[in-house]
């Protein structure tokens, strides 16, 4: 079986957490759009740029983040800076 990997960088992290920073180009709607795009991909492992990885069920972490946005909420922040 071939595994598919998503390297999500700083977009989304384990358990659907995000890194929302109060900077001039931090736009919540664009973040939401990025999560929607990632949610359409098929992959097994989520490999974010920091913290924990998920070698199985990686899509679930994207779905967690998306569920917050769909409810009009902001996903939990990973807590940097």
Could you list the pLDDT tens digit for every one of the 81 residues in the chain? 789 999 999 999 999 999 887 777 668 899 899 999 999 999 999 999 999 999 999 999 999 999 999 999 999 998 765
Q: Does some domain include residue 19?
A: yes
Q: Does some domain include residue 76?
A: no
Q: Does some domain include residue 54?
A: yes
pLDDT of residue 23: 74
Residue 49 tokens, joined: 């740029």
Coil vs helix vs strand at 64:
helix
Q: Does some domain include residue 9?
A: yes
pLDDT of residue 80: 60
What's the domain count of the chain? 1
Query: Domain span at residue 43?
Result: 5-70
pLDDT of residue 20: 81
């Amino acid at each position: 079986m071939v595994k598919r990997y998503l390297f999500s960088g700083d977009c989304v992290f384990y358990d659907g957490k995000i890194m929302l920073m109060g900077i001039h180009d931090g736009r919540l709607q664009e973040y939401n759009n990025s999560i929607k795009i990632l949610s359409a991909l098929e992959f097994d492992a989520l490999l974010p740029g920091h913290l924990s990885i998920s070698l199985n069920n990686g899509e679930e972490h994207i779905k967690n983040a998306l569920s917050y946005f769909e409810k009009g909420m902001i996903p939990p922040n990973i807590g940097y800076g």
